[in-house]
Amino acid sequence: MNDSEPQEGIFSDLEELSHKEVKLLSNKIEREIRTIEDEHKSLRNERKNQVEIVKSLRQTVGENEAISDERRGLLKRFHQSRKFAEDARKKRDSVNLSIPPPSSILSEWMAETHQRLVTIDNDLTAVPTLHREIDMFKRFFELQAAYVRKQESEKFHEDYVNHIKEIREITKQLDATRKDSPKGKDGESSSSEGQGDSSNVNRSDVRKISKRIKRIDSQLDDISVERKALRKESNRLKTYLKLTSSRGKPIKISEVKEKATSGDSLNTQELGALLRTGGLAELTKNNTAKPKKKSARKNKGKKQHRRLGVARGGARLGSRVSKRDD
């Protein structure tokens, strides 16, 4: 957004708010952006991991080569690690569903709430009521409980990442044993007998993971749209804060408008803020309607005055004619 181009009406919902209130609103939006970006990053990593798992599963589906004891042991470890990873992921997602913000954001909220509870404002009118203070204590304790649960979620995520690393290592070893495995008719028959059930399981797992990848893609699309809207709102708030700050001194647009409407003089900073936020154009529009009414009244008065003048002139002319006749 260009400061030299006023956007009429774009800041109308912020004009009645104080500079501090707009700043708090901007900080809130920034936290929401950080939360959603953290979720976006987590989902992208999750998608990458699921793609690697499904590729490994597809390699083991319908194998017709002889399976050595080493390869059979690797496949067993692969499925165990995948099961542990899935359990850790479900526990992590269960917590994240109820508590989306990361622990860093929760920590900031706790610090801010604690600061309000232990700080006494010099302005007695700003001191919170008893009901409000009780709500603040409730929020503080809720944030503490949420923070503890979020740390558990991060531990589940750590376990999940470790199991994914194990799966990657096992997959590399499986690829190596695939290249070195001998082929033969006897091996093919024994492999087919031993893999009938596992192939069906693998195909079922592949379908499940593929569906999950599609769900993740849909979530990523929704998050991208929401993130774009939040960034746009954040830029709007930052622009308003910049336009309404003059040499470190905040300017409230509603007060400047009231000052201009009453006819008081504006300094260069106030006039500049009014011009950049589009407030001057709004005042000009409101003032253009009033002169029209006044001009209509003046024209009407002038017509009445001319009629009176003609009448007086006619009377004087008549008196002059009568004198001449005499």
Give residue-wise pLDDT tens across range 188-206. Answer: 444 444 444 454 557 788 8
pLDDT of amino acid 20? 84
Q: Is the pLDDT of residue 324 over 70?
A: no
Q: What Å distances lie between residue 118 and 106, 121, 133, 146, CA to CA? A: 18, 10, 11, 21
Q: What is the per-residue pLDDT for 242? A: 81
Split at pLDDT 50, 70, 90, the class of 119 is: confident
CB atoms within 10 A of CB 245: 14
Consecutive H or E run containing 249: strand 249-250
pLDDT tens readout for residues 204-258: 888 888 999 999 999 999 999 999 999 999 999 998 888 777 666 676 666 666 6
Confirm whether 148 is domain-assigned.
Answer: yes
How much of the chain, in percent, has pLDDT values that exceed 70?
A: 61
- 217 domain-assigned: yes
pLDDT at 265 over 70: no
How many domains does the chain fold into? Answer: 1
Domain membership flag for residue 212: yes
Residue 79 has pLDDT above 70, yes or no: yes
* pLDDT > 90 in the chain, percent: 28
Does residue 134 lie within any of the structural domains?
Answer: yes
pLDDT of residue 169 exceeding 50: yes
The overall pTM is greater than 0.85: no
Host domain of residue 163: 19-247
Backbone angles phi, psi at 52, to 5 degrees: -65, -40
Total length of the chain: 326
Of residues 271 and 120, the one with the higher pLDDT is 120
For residue 141, name the pLDDT band (cuts at 50, 70, 90): very high
Question: Within a domain: residue 202?
Answer: yes
Average pLDDT estimate for 27-45: 91
Q: What integer is the mean pLDDT of 12-23?
A: 82
Q: What is the pLDDT of residue 95?
A: 92
Most confident of 94-108, 122-136, 180-194: 94-108
Q: Tell me, yes or no, whether 201 lies in a domain.
A: yes
Instruction: Extract long-range pairs of 137-141: CB within 8 Å, 24+ residues apart.
Output: 139/113, 140/110, 140/113, 140/114
Q: What is the pLDDT of residue 118?
A: 86
* pLDDT tier for residue 276 given thresholds of 50, 70 and 90: low
Is 252 contained in some domain?
A: no
pLDDT of 190 reads: 43
**320 occurs within a structural domain:** no
The closest alpha carbon to 219, from 101, 92, 97, belongs to: 97
Q: pLDDT value at position 5?
A: 46
Highest mean pLDDT among 172-181, 222-231, 282-291, 316-325: 222-231
State the alpha helices, DSSP H only, in the chain.
Answer: 19-60, 69-98, 103-118, 130-180, 185-243, 253-261, 268-276, 279-325
